[in-house]
Structure 1
């Protein structure tokens, strides 16, 4: 039985209904009521960031299994007693219509409205010899229609490798294997506030290097040394060898519902002039991040606390920065639509006097899942930001999930910038006269589970522009509210 890493809980998670019910639209149409929620290795709800190599089809080997699908013959194909092969993939298409897209502020496209389409396809093959050797390969192709503002580097990737690795069992410790994974691979840990494949992007984020892991029922221990892979639409993507990302991620489960994460991450970026330090000096940076997360539920109460501190060097400055998250929620399991309600506060430090002291105080975002946080605006990242927000998730029927969020967004430091999820500057007023009011935002999604392969998603986000957005705009269009509609269809097999 090759090991599978369980999918960790993201922030503001929702408790889905269980028990007898219709869990897909097609089951409802056919009047096929199930005794409980069906197993879904690709996960049923939310923006599914789970990596294909962690899709868990082990239930198919159970002689008592009663859940069948016409794609089952492609999974866990046993070749003799020792070999195991699986294959699968995904097709996804998304339509987007956005006003003042990404709060883009460079003329002539500043404040432009954008209507475009994103398409991607993925297919993988997974070969195991016992639990001792694994070869995994996943291809991706992604494309975008013409966009009004410059397309992101993560929008287009033609016929590339998303994952390409071998995994070796080195030895056993306490009856659980110690594994080394070598090659191109996605990384996903914890809430994905620090490390994620960033599934909302049209091309998923991946790395290249070595990862060692040991997992049992209670503990997950992972160490890695990798380089980021930089998407290249014209050829097979290669690594940025001037960036080195290393880490040690430890998880302990108190029980099936509650766990703690402890992590140390180190990012070194030696690209030319990537950091601006004291008096405008240009240079490199190296950032140490030490953090922890406590997440869980008990008696319908939910909690999600996470924080990290950073230290290191930034051009000719030292680094002292951090972020913190505090979330408490409640699951109303006996109310109609089984709502889950969260109250959160997100904070990431800014620099009150950028480039003017010996210390760089802006938290440096690493490789996060940007769309899942900050109202799904895709324009705001975890740097120099405060976000007080309410999140509500409901299930009107078992096969439909609705979410609604309300956010109050402000800068931590007025003279520092507003950053996007990739860590790039969106807007800045070095004088601080524009203030800190980024604005209020609403976010909502409606997700329809058509069957165990198909999901239809409609999303809407709106930022009511605050004083900071209006006063930093270079054109009247760039002072407008950001308004975004997404319609997405996904098919997985």
Structure 2
């Protein structure tokens, strides 16, 4: 991170930071709200949406120092039948509430301070809220950001404090948007954009989600650091490449093999973009390190390829995802082969969220239809297999949910998802899904194996 800071200062010289260019229309809200930039509203003729008065509140006569306010509200109801494949409870319903408010103070074009509160509540859950269901009131983000150099699409940012991180396809680093409480980190990040490169370096600790009031804190047993670079591919129009290194340590790691100290180094690349009607997203990761003093070697390969028929009614997109992540080949050997997805998106295989991306093979065809620009309808099927029969299956959080003993079958099961995703103007988003997971041979031979149903609907408001 220090190296990026030095390089940025050298290339920046005495160039002054400057505001972004004025857009032609109000930009959409981002998943990472701290990445929004409303300095363009300083211009009297800038495009404005109805609530943009909250986005630019001048604190000085010149308007160079200003406050920007915003928020996210999400209401979700969900109904599970036989959650976690269990006989009891036969059904489980819940009402999940998420409230997030933030303030962003810009100091000329050279620095900013961002502060965000969160409140997550869950009512009606059988057995009480889950680990990511509830956080009654806490600081979600609180950081200062220095911008010593900025020019057009280039610049340097140094961010210190509690912050969200998300890179690439959110396979390894995500804000965990699906669950009720999002993920955040404590630490430092530097970002340098220069000559079409987008380079980030960070050193952080994940923040634990606690259910009380102002009781979240860093997970002392874990450390996370890395370098992430993105660059267009000049030989492939519309293409881009990501290159990254991610380091992770955990003194309390748990796998089917047992518990111990883990240090893992991930080297990865992602090739993604569009070419005509085709879109593609290919990623490969190799992990090395040590677990309980023994060698560690794991890997994953993931793909998401689609073809959009824009000339047909509903502009259908036909796509297929195919992924594989290594499992431990021998639970009795001291070495470990289970892939660790680090901090992936919470609903990795859909909102039903029964399985996590550990020791798996999946095939996932998708049909998506667009009745309008604001409405997307999807039908998906996903089949799951174990990559190694010597390893178990894991949940989205990495917890072992079914040990490997008792079955030599790879077939875990398959699920069907139907979803509707509707943007009602600039501020309101409606989402609904219906899913069923059909338990396969491995689950049937190792414990409870009832098919699982999920019905879910949510309304989100952003401003």
Match of 1:410 in 2: 385
Any conservation in 1 of the 2:161–2:188 contact (CA below 8 Å)?
A: yes
Give the C-alpha shift of residue 375 in structure 1. Answer: 3.7
CA distance in 1, matches of 2:138, 2:19: 26
1:60-139 aligned at under 5 Å gives the runs: 60=41, 65-66=46-47, 68-78=48-58, 79=60, 80-103=62-85, 112-139=90-117
1:151 equivalent in alignment to 2:125: no
1:117-266 aligned at under 5 Å gives the runs: 117-149=95-127, 151-171=129-149, 176-216=154-194, 218-236=196-214, 237-254=216-233, 257-266=238-247
CA distance in 2, matches of 1:41, 1:56: 11
Give the C-alpha shift of residue 146 in structure 1. Answer: 3.1
Give structure 1 stretches of 5+ with no counterpart.
5-36, 44-49
CA distance in 2, matches of 1:149, 1:254: 51
Match of 1:369 in 2: 345
Q: How many residues align?
A: 439
Mean Cα displacement is larger for which, 444-453 or 180-189?
A: 444-453
Q: 1:376 to 1:167 in 2, by over 3 A?
A: same
Any conservation in 2 of the 1:40–1:452 contact (CA below 8 Å)?
A: no
Q: 1:111 to 1:429 in 2, by over 3 A?
A: farther
TM (normalized to structure 1)? 0.83
1:308 equivalent in alignment to 2:282: no
Match of 1:484 in 2: 454
SS class of match (1:359): coil
Higher relative contact order (CA 8 A, sep 6+): 1
CA distance in 1, matches of 2:145, 2:46: 29
1:436 equivalent in alignment to 2:410: yes
CA distance in 1, matches of 2:238, 2:56: 28
Give the C-alpha shift of residue 149 in structure 1. Answer: 4.4
1:323 equivalent in alignment to 2:300: yes
Cα deviation, 1:296-351, whole Å, max 9, x if unaligned, reads 10111111100101111111321100111123211111111111111121111111
Give the C-alpha shift of residue 452 in structure 1. Answer: 1.0
Q: 1:172 to 1:86 in 2, by over 3 A?
A: closer
CA distance in 1, matches of 2:49, 2:64: 24
1:290 equivalent in alignment to 2:260: no
CA distance in 2, matches of 1:3, 1:483: 49
Give structure 2 stretches of 5+ with no counterpart.
1-16
Match of 1:389 in 2: 364
Give the C-alpha shift of residue 205 in structure 1. Answer: 0.1
Q: 1:60 to 1:262 in 2, by over 3 A?
A: same
Give the C-alpha shift of residue 42 in structure 1. Answer: 1.6
Any conservation in 2 of the 1:457–1:488 contact (CA below 8 Å)?
A: yes
Any conservation in 2 of the 1:410–1:437 contact (CA below 8 Å)?
A: yes
CA distance in 2, matches of 1:266, 1:338: 41
CA distance in 1, matches of 2:413, 2:330: 23
1:336 equivalent in alignment to 2:317: no
Give the C-alpha shift of residue 81 in structure 1. Answer: 4.4
SS class of match (2:442): helix
SS class of match (1:270): strand
Give the C-alpha shift of residue 188 in structure 1. Answer: 0.7
Any conservation in 2 of the 1:444–1:459 contact (CA below 8 Å)?
A: yes
CA distance in 2, matches of 1:217, 1:42: 27
SS class of match (2:443): helix
Any conservation in 2 of the 1:415–1:432 contact (CA below 8 Å)?
A: no
Any conservation in 1 of the 2:256–2:391 contact (CA below 8 Å)?
A: no
Any conservation in 2 of the 1:114–1:149 contact (CA below 8 Å)?
A: no
Give the C-alpha shift of residue 276 in structure 1. Answer: 5.8
Match of 2:445 in 1: 471
Any conservation in 2 of the 1:277–1:317 contact (CA below 8 Å)?
A: no
CA distance in 1, matches of 2:19, 2:232: 17
Give the C-alpha shift of residue 190 in structure 1. Answer: 0.3
Give the C-alpha shift of residue 376 in structure 1. Answer: 3.4
Q: 1:56 to 1:472 in 2, by over 3 A?
A: farther
CA distance in 2, matches of 1:275, 1:315: 10
Cα deviation, 1:431-456, whole Å, max 9, x if unaligned, reads 433x1111121112112222211111
